[in-house]
DNA sequence: TCCCGACCTACCCGAATGGCTAGTCCCCCT
DNA sequence: AGGGGGACTAGCCATTCGGGTAGGTCGGGA
């Protein structure tokens, strides 16, 4: 942070951390298709990136925790590279772990490119960024209250439920998830069925009562 | 989403809401110095912007709650312009209030330009953005936050709102209140209008957040 | 007295919703 | 290799919603 000019134009220097080469490649490729104000200065597994640390530290670390973060080992080990970490998680449970390791932001792994770029820049500027569906985790100790039935609900359905709780219409949900309105309806129906209700409003109320979503 | 290019290049359409003309001017000026991918399509006080709503809705609302949001009146009234709201608050206490009105992001008023741009883009993409010092909020069970405005809502409307929060259809509400379905719709519409929402689900969420109903 | 607000009823119409059936990928598990 | 499940797309159809407009009654305050 210094001159006036660096305010926005200065490229964001990014360190990309992912154990899975495939995921790393996909992210790296997607990143490179960017206008150019995001520069990948390091990429590799956690060990690789931490060792290859060449003089200049990144502005932000994009950390893909992978599909099965729990299998990796006892606890999740977050990158420690002197920069805020934006974690990509497969689901809510992984989000808790990532947060506890100090992640500054939390997005789902399948986030669309545009939001990802925006999030990276925001985190690089020192902000915290969350997917709305994950923002409930913030500082929430999650007192084992998971009790309810997240089971039965697939990840996609939980995602839809979260948007449902935002009061979005099917069309809006479709746009947000970048799927067809038909599919959005499909998922909404699945949620309604699994929650045993007829109306989306009911679904939101029940979900809120069960702690599936945070209003 | 279609081409690669639209992913990030598409300009963000912003509505700027601030009661204080000075603050508005400062923000507006700062905004205009931007590269150009943020277009201010509306600017003014809450009332002004909400009324001048010209056809196309913004992608994001930048809302400056001012220096003394508590003095304004009993409760904070958030912009409801069909877009996620990024609130600029003077301190943590104001943050709680802003959150309870549904703000999607929370930054301090004196945030630097760069983080602000980044945050605006992220919120426009559907993400939640917080200043790290504020991200711990939300966990607080909206202590004094309730206080809200049962005023504005007539007794009958509050009654309808309660049934709305049960997920009842217009017909069901009509039967429960022993009035015609037409009348039920009438009251529901009144509630929607007074809460500033389009969908009954939204109404329930907002009402819950404001403490008007208990889920 | 007259006006106003709360409350109630009614009709029209386009959009949204939910319910149903059906089909395609893809991946995992047996 | 085959089965099953999740994610996605699709069309059809009846109902519900939401918005707008246009009334009606009643009680209280100006």
User: Which residue in the set A122, A166, A204 is minimally distant from B129, CB to CB?
Assistant: A122
Tell the burial category of A207 from Cβ atoms under 10 Å away from its Cβ (0-12, 13-18, 19+): buried
Contact criterion met (CB < 8 Å) for A208 and B209: no
- Return the SS3 of B18: strand
Question: Which residue's entry shows tokens 């939300």?
Answer: B138
CB half-sphere exposure, A127, CA atoms < 13 A? 31
Taking the mean position of all CA atoms in its chain, how far away is CA B28? 20
- Return the SS3 of A91: coil
Nucleotide nearest to B154 (CA to C1'): C6
Q: What is the mean pLDDT of residues B101-128?
A: 89
> Could you tell me the pLDDT band of residue A62, with boundaries at 50, 70 and 90?
very high
> Could you tell me the pLDDT band of residue A72, with boundaries at 50, 70 and 90?
very low
Please give the pLDDT value at position A6: 41
Residue B200 has pLDDT above 60, yes or no: yes
Question: Do residues B40 and B86 lie in contact, with contact meaning Cβ atoms separated by under 8 Å?
Answer: no
Distance CA B18, CA B39 (A): 17
Q: Write out the H or E segment, with its range, that includes residue A106.
A: strand A105-108
Residue A11 has φ and ψ, to the nearest 5°, of: -65, 150
Q: What is the mean pLDDT of residues B8-14?
A: 74
Taking the mean position of all CA atoms in its chain, how far away is CA B68? 18
| Chain A interface test: which of B36, B116, B125 (most A C-beta within 10 Å) | B125
> Residue B91 CA to C23 C1' — how many Å?
55
Contact criterion met (CB < 8 Å) for A129 and B122: yes
- Note if the pTM is more than 0.85: no
Q: Which nucleotides of C are covered by protein (CB under 7 A)?
A: 6-11, 16-22
Please give the pLDDT value at position B188: 92
Please give the pLDDT value at position A113: 81
Q: What is the mean pLDDT of residues A50-70?
A: 76
Please give the pLDDT value at position B129: 93
- Rounded to the nearest angstrom, the minimum Cα separation between B125 and chain A is 5
> Residue A184 CA to C7 C1' — how many Å?
39
Proximity of residue A192 CB to strand C below 7 A: yes
Proximity of residue A34 CB to strand C below 7 A: no
Query: Over the Cα atoms of chain B, what is R_g?
Result: 19
> Could you tell me the pLDDT band of residue A19, with boundaries at 50, 70 and 90?
confident
pLDDT tens figures, B24-49: 999 988 887 766 688 888 888 887 87
| Chain A interface test: which of B30, B126, B170 (most A C-beta within 10 Å) | B126
A129: which chain B residues are within 8 Å (Cβ-Cβ)?
122, 127-130
Beta strands in B4-127 (DSSP E): 12-18, 38-44, 60-64, 85-89, 105-108
- Range of weakest confidence among B73-87, B88-102, B163-177, B196-210: B73-87
pLDDT tens figures, A136-160: 655 443 333 333 444 578 888 888 9
> Could you tell me the pLDDT band of residue A3, with boundaries at 50, 70 and 90?
very low
- DSSP secondary structure, B29-42, as one string: HHHHTS-SSEEEEE
């Amino acid at each position: 942070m210094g001159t006036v000019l660096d305010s926005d134009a200065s490229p964001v220097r990014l360190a990309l951390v992912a154990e899975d080469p495939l995921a790393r490649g996909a992210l790296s490729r997607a990143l490179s298709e960017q206008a150019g104000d995001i520069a990948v200065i390091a990429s590799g597994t956690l060990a690789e990136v931490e060792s290859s640390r060449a003089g200049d530290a990144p502005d932000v670390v994009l950390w893909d925790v992978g599909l099965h973060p729990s299998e990796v080992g006892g606890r999740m080990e977050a990158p420690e590279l002197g920069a805020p970490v934006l974690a990509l998680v497969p689901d809510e449970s992984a989000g808790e772990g990532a947060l506890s390791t100090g992640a500054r932001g939390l997005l789902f792994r399948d986030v669309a490119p545009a939001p990802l770029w925006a999030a990276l820049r925001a985190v690089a500027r020192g902000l915290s960024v969350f997917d709305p569906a994950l923002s409930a985790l913030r500082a929430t100790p999650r007192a084992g209250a998971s009790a309810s039935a997240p089971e039965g609900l697939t990840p996609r359905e939980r995602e839809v439920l979260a948007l449902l709780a935002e009061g979005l219409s099917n069309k809006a949900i479709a746009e947000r998830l970048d799927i067809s309105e038909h599919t959005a309806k499909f998922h909404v129906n699945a949620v309604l069925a699994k929650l045993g209700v007829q109306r989306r409003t009911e679904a939101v109320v029940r979900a809120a009562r069960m702690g599936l979503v945070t209003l």
